Structure 1
Amino acid sequence: MYRPHPFSWVPAAGQRHASTESRPPGGFPTGMAVTVLCGEFLHADNSELAWLWNTCPPCNEKAHLLAGVPLVIQR
């Protein structure tokens, strides 16, 4: 499976998180336990609305570092 970065996004616990765990085809299924970049161990929520949640700031920062893309913070 094509994976442009060493992480995948996974909605869980009210935010979109990033994880370096192997992403199953179709995404992390709802209820699957996943370790995310902010250090939490959470249960995925693969519902349609979950993808609209805000991004976890620590996961976003670590994902940008892994992707080699500077994080632009707008104030």
Structure 2
Amino acid sequence: MYRPHPFSWRPGDGARHATADERPGHGWPVGTRISTLCGTQVLSDESVEAWLWVTCPRCNVEAHKLAGIPMPGAGDEPR
């Protein structure tokens, strides 16, 4: 399975989290406990609404670091 970064996004416990756990071929079954880049463990959710949940800010920062992509606004000079 194609995975351009060493993490995947997965909704769980009210937010979209990033995880470095190895992704099963068909994704994580609902209710699977996954470790997240923010250091917590969440239960995987597959509902349509879950993908609209807010992105976990700590996972977002860690995912940007792993991808080697600066956070938006990082390094911007004041105008």
Please give the TM-score of this superposition, normalised by the length of structure 1: 0.91
Structure 1: stretches of 5+ with no match in the other structure: none
SS in 1 for 2:6: coil
Aligned to 2:71: 71
Aligned to 1:29: 29
**Alpha-carbon distance, 1:41 to partner:** 1.1
Q: Radius of gyration: which is bigger? A: 2
Aligned to 1:60: 60
Runs of 4+ displaced beyond 2 Å: none
Identity among equivalent pairs (%): 53
Give the paired residue count: 73
Question: Contact 1:12–1:45 (CA<8 Å) still a contact in 2?
Answer: yes
**Alpha-carbon distance, 1:50 to partner:** 0.3
RMSD between aligned alpha carbons? 1.0
Paired with 2:16 and 2:52, the residues of 1 have a C-alpha distance of: 8
Paired with 1:31 and 1:45, the residues of 2 have a C-alpha distance of: 6
Aligned to 2:5: 5
